[in-house]
Amino acid sequence: MRSDTIIIGGGLSSLVCGIKLQKAGQRCLIVSAGQNALHFSSGAFGLLGKLPDGTAVKEPMRSLSFLPEEHPYSKIGVDKMAGYVSETPAFFESCGVRLHSAPIAGEGGFPANGYRLTPLGSLKPAWLAMEDVTLLQSKDNIPWSKALIVNFFGFLDFNSGFIAEGLSRRGVDCRVETVSIGDVENLRKNPTEMRSVGIARVMGKENNWKEFGSKVRKLSAGEDLVILPEVFGLGDPVIIQWLREMIPAEVMFVGTMPPSVPGIRTQMRLKKAFEVAGGTFLSGDTAVNPTVEDGYVTSIHTTNLGSISLDADNYVLASGHLFGKGLESTPSKVVEPVFGLDTDFPSDRKTWCDEDFFARQAYDGYGVVCDGSFRPFIGGKSVRNLFVIGSEVGGCDSLYEGSGAGVAIMTAMSVAGNILSGK
């Protein structure tokens, strides 16, 4: 099977890169093993929330010059970053995914970080958010005094108490209520179905979301904010707007334990945009047995296709970090399992992690060693037609920085541009 570009991984970076290439006339094939980071998404995209030294960032574009030279953003460069940042909302809109920023602009008109309410009741910085996620201008000035937090009876993946406690510390008077809906109650017969996606499926029925909205409206007692779990609009996000119109207060949707409804919805829409553009998406398959000769990848295979080789001019690796098994650890090293690419990690394993589970973990910053165009190395030698994008790229701790989605999108756009220009 012959393609212009083969992309390994089915998440945010893979799909952005694939859509960009496919719409530019390339024939692209994506090999996706299964779940990816979008399935665990908060519904918001971070570009840069803090610098490596812990300094909080309000305007990401103004802070790029403070990043080390090995950081993916430094490799892309400020000018190209500015173009990609400006392009991102329209790109996602063209794929059926509406994103918005906090209603405040920084220097040069670029969005400043807003703040999203987390399931733990804290506020975290975000660059862009999906349409059902509220972004606040400031984490210090909460614009509401009374909040009603509503959950489904028996839904344990949405902890109303954490949210109420977090808002109460910021001066918001909170009240917690639960609502029972017949079809949701039926899900409780099978605990595996009583998850966010299962609820979202039954709440897609008109009679169910109307009943829910009506019950929440009756529960309202002068609150100026109503908080609901993100379990609506899996197939049609217009339900989100209808609920907001039914409820006589500002409505905020807050994330649940994974899986993520807005994340899965976004992944489905990006996948559809890729396929509508003519791309081929191999789902539930794993890339194996690549052939690398004289610094070039000539083919790969997949578990499902067996002896059938997949050939392309260029290859892109976007299979994730340690959590997504794009990287793997042994007692002595961190390895990239598909191609055996060079990785960056200290030899002393004792420095890899902190015994305090909630402390910053050094291994989050490990990744594949890449040059300025995101080409990796094998044994110190560059692989000329292979590129690495997303969380697998070394040079930053995207979890600590709050830059995961930003690194995924920016590196995807950069590599797509490099492939199209022949660089």
> What's the pLDDT tens digit per position in 35-63?
788 888 889 999 999 999 999 999 999 99
Same domain, residue pair 275 and 410: yes
Place of tokens 């979890």: 399
**Among candidate residues 360, 359, 409, 365, the one with its CA nearest the CA of residue 389:** 409
Mean pLDDT score, 269-291:
97
Cis bond leading into 103, ω under 30°? no
What is the Cα–Cα distance from 167 to 217, expressed in whole angstroms?
21
Q: Please tell me the predicted confidence (pLDDT) of residue 423.
A: 75
Same domain, residue pair 269 and 417: yes
**Among candidate residues 289, 315, 337, the one with its CA nearest the CA of residue 415:** 315
Q: Please tell me the predicted confidence (pLDDT) of residue 231.
A: 96
Q: Please tell me the predicted confidence (pLDDT) of residue 235.
A: 86
What CATH number has the domain bearing residue 199?
3.40.50
Same domain, residue pair 413 and 268: yes
Same domain, residue pair 331 and 248: no
**Strand 28-32 and strand 334-335: pairing?**
unpaired
Place of tokens 């409505």: 251
Is-contact 388 395, C-beta < 8 A?
no
Taking only the tens place, the pLDDT of each residue in 84-101 is 999 999 999 999 999 999
Say yes or no to pLDDT of 103 above 90.
no
111 domain residue, yes or no: no
What CATH number has the domain bearing residue 274?
3.50.50.60
Q: At what angle do helices 404-421 and 78-94 cross, to 10 degrees?
A: 100
Place of tokens 């690398």: 292
Percentage above 90 pLDDT, the chain: 85
181 domain residue, yes or no: yes
pTM of the model: 0.95
Q: Looking at 200, 227, 256, which one is the last position of a domain?
A: 256
Q: Please tell me the predicted confidence (pLDDT) of residue 197.
A: 94
What is the Cα–Cα distance from 423 to 421, expressed in whole angstroms?
6
Say yes or no to pLDDT of 68 above 90.
yes
Non-local (6+) Cβ contacts of 238 within 8 A are none
What range does the domain containing 33 cover?
A: 2-105+264-421
Torsion-angle region of 369 (φ positive above 0: left; ψ -120 to 50: alpha; else: beta): beta
Same domain, residue pair 275 and 405: yes
Q: Please tell me the predicted confidence (pLDDT) of residue 42.
A: 85
110 domain residue, yes or no: no
**Displacement of CA 141 from its chain's centroid (Å):** 27
Taking only the tens place, the pLDDT of each residue in 112-146 is 999 999 999 999 999 999 988 999 998 888 999 99
Higher pLDDT, 274 or 361: 274
Split into its structural domains, the chain has a count of 2
Span between the terminal Cα atoms of the chain, in Å? 25
Q: Please tell me the predicted confidence (pLDDT) of residue 236.
A: 85
SS3 6: strand
